Chain A
Amino acid sequence: MDDVILKIENLSKQYRLGLVGANTIKDDLKRWWYGIRGKEDPFLKIAEENNRKEKGGSNYVWALQDINFEVKQGEVLGIIGKNGAGKSTLLKILSKITSPTTGSVKSKGTVASLLEVGTGFHSELTGRENIYLNGAILGMTKKEIASKIDEIIEFSGCQRYIDTPVKRYSSGMTVRLAFAVAAFLEPDILIIDEVLTVGDAEFQKKAIGKMQDISKGEGRTVLFVSHNMAAVESLCTRVLLLRNGKIFSEGTPTEAINTYLSSYSFSKRIQDFEAENNIPTQNGISLYYAAVENASASKKTEIIDITSDIDICFRIKNDTKESTLSVGYDLKNTRDQVIFGSGSKFECPVNKVSEVSCRIPAQFLNDDVYQIHLYVHSASMITLFSDTEILSFEVKDVKRESGYLGKINGLIRPNFDWSLKTY
């Protein structure tokens, strides 16, 4: 089973930015003029690396650049990367929706892609009619669908509504029906883009179970793009990390996910104002240093996951007249909801730097991005120092023991004791 089934060579894709207008005609004419003289497309040279944040000089960017990789028969390849890293473009090329600017893709098997569930569903048609239509769009013949229709209907769990127009369905039922059709596709290579994030918990479990059957049981080759690290970790055999349109690294799921998460820059974990020579001072209180540290790992800067103890540290110089300070913070999520506030009184000698820190235990915060709002009060509760976005960090959820891979509900996720008595 060591056969290469899919081979991607020097694949690049260029996009034009900006609006379509008179300049488009000019560029098209120029390209055509170079084309008929047998010269290379002049716009290939001026394109730039795709970095969404920097404003570039050229109107052309590479969404993908020099992508080379091979996929072996039976492999489940995960593709991860930030938004705009080129994941979707890559999938679109592999599923023939758009063609590459240069390079080639060679395949030894049939490809079916699932970039969305329920493509082509028509709301006026019944569930059964839509199974046929959607199945045919995905490349099945009528005969194939007819032989599987009972299984599909059963898997979807919509038996009762199957002869009702889809417009009467709840959105959850539509998704179930759509996924059920897709689950019974039998291509050699299946391409999946983030479809597992839909539906309720019960259905997700079913869907992931089916995915596991497809990849492990039936030995099918799967390419899987997702932001759900828990799903990538448990389903994939190998992971490709894309960054700015290039392959950044490649390896086992654990390696690639770690590289990815640590390069992720949602977080402002360490603020060394002293080293940067940019010390904020308000009412005699100066903040020298602030950090969110991973207390469970040997390296304090390691990514924080659900199982890490978290230390929040502040180094403060007290230039006020009293030594009693009340230091605290509010922990907020990105939707600006305060999860909790915590603070304490300290004796901080005047004109000296003191370090205070607070530990948030592991298994307490949920998988989310959090912000720290620091404040320092005097003994009489007058606000001396306040900064709403001094630090931010992300708690990641990587390993899961239960089969469920979706996000667990709640602002926090405490690990309470459960007990069992049997009578």
Chain B
Amino acid sequence: MNKNNTNEWLFTISSKRKLIDFNFKEVWRYRDLLLLFVKRDIVTIYKQTVLGPLWYLIEPLFTSLIFTLIFNNVANISTGAVPPFLFNLAGITIWNYFKVCFMSTSNTFSANAGIFGKVYFPRIIVPLSVVISNLLRFAIQLLVFTCFFVYYYNQGYQISLNNHTFLFPLIIIVMGMLGLGLGMIISSLITKYRDLKILIGFGLQLLMYLSAVMYPVSYFKEKLPDYAWIIEYNPLTFVIESVRYMLLNTGSFNINMFIYTVVVTLGIFFMGIIMFNKTEKNFIDTV
């Protein structure tokens, strides 16, 4: 037992930290916890509600309905050959996935201060579990979308999938990473500066308007060509446009913009991980 035993430390805790200190092995060891968190989130969210998981459906349906009334019937935004309701439903379904991922991960530290203050596990498990459990919610909403898609298709509308639809899962991963990355960045800053909590409340509202959720990008370009670049360089816009392109065959898909979006997403994601890792070590002192 005596050989080398002064050097064989299993782990060291010290004040010095590497820039990227992401221990994948450790996260893997806690995979059961990840699954249990996902299960907990899914099982408990609608406990003691009458409608239960039906809320997953009611929310996007009503929002789409209102959007259709306001933006398409009152404000007369044209959605081309696609029925406006379906157009809005597609946008809202994907936007909601981003919104929920972003909102839930951005208050990771403050919402879990109780657990984080008492026990150690890789903190990233919590935001990861949020992104995964919301994937289920997204899948259910997508199912509803499919029902309406079939309905409108049978009504004779010109909607169809196309040869880019196979990229759909990839686009969803991009959206999840964007929500996770941005959420982690905000969550790291929010532990010290609570101002951000107020900011993201209305910031998200504004972001939705800038992300082409309820209008086609081409429509915006036509009306406000000088400001179109704000919309175009927003990676969320690209994701939402692509989803509509892949599912409804409307709008466009530009491979350069796709690469641009993936690069920006990866950048945000890694920045999120770096900041999150830096914060998780000491946040309990400031939260």
**A contact set with B: CB distance below 8 Å:** 3-4, 7, 15-16, 20, 24, 28, 92-110, 113, 115-116, 119-120, 122, 124-125, 129, 132-133, 136-139, 141-142
Contacts and interface: CB of A to CB of B under 8 A. Distances in A.
Contact of A132 (B1, B36, B121): B36
B118 to A, nearest CB: 4
B15 A103 contact: yes
A92 B10 contact: no
Sorted nearest first, the 7 A-B pairs with minimum C-beta distance are: A104-B14, A136-B33, A96-B120, A99-B281, A105-B13, A142-B32, A106-B9
Contact of B119 (A99, A119, A141): A119
A108 B8 contact: yes
Interface in B93-108: none
Given A110-B10, A120-B115, A98 B40 contact: no
B119 A133 contact: no
Interface string B34-65: 01110010011001100000000000000000
Interface in B12-36: 12-15, 17, 29-30, 32-33, 35-36
B282 interface: yes
A3 B10 CA distance: 14
A102 B15 contact: yes
A108 B15 CA distance: 18
Given A99-B15, A101-B15, A138 B119 contact: yes
Given A99-B15, A105-B14, A124-B47, A139 B116 contact: no
Nearest to A99: B281
Nearest to A189: B10
Given A95-B119, A97-B119, A119-B118, A24 B192 contact: yes
A287 B11 CA distance: 62
Interface of B: 1, 5, 8-15, 17, 29-30, 32-33, 35-37, 40, 43-44, 47-48, 114-121, 192-193, 281-282, 284-286
22 contacts: A3-B1, A4-B5, A15-B285, A93-B13, A97-B116, A98-B284, A99-B13, A99-B14, A104-B14, A105-B12, A106-B9, A109-B10, A116-B118, A119-B118, A120-B115, A125-B40, A129-B40, A133-B36, A136-B32, A137-B33, A137-B121, A139-B30
A99 B17 contact: yes
Contact of B12 (A3, A15, A104, A122): A104
Which among A98, A100, A102, A132 has the highest number of chain B CB atoms within 10 Å? Answer: A98
Contacts of A133: 36-37, 40
B119 A108 contact: no
Contacts of B33: 136-137
B239 to A, nearest CB: 33
Given A104-B14, A119-B119, 6 more contacts: A15-B285, A99-B13, A99-B282, A105-B13, A106-B12, A132-B36
Contacts of B1: 3
Given A92-B284, A98-B284, A124-B44, A139 B121 contact: yes
A141 B36 CA distance: 11
Contacts of A94: 13
B124 to A, nearest CB: 14
B285 A98 contact: yes
A34 to B, nearest CB: 15
A161 to B, nearest CB: 18
Contacts of B116: 97
Contacts of A92: 117, 284
A137 B14 contact: no
A120 B119 contact: yes
B243 to A, nearest CB: 33
A97 B5 contact: no
A185 to B, nearest CB: 11
B13 to A, nearest CB: 4
Contacts of A138: 119
Given A20-B192, A105-B14, A108-B9, A113 B120 contact: yes
Contacts of B12: 104-107
A45 to B, nearest CB: 16
Contacts of B43: 124-125, 129
Contacts of A106: 9, 11-13
A141 B13 contact: no
A230 B248 CA distance: 73
Nearest to B16: A104
A115 B36 contact: no
B8 A103 contact: no
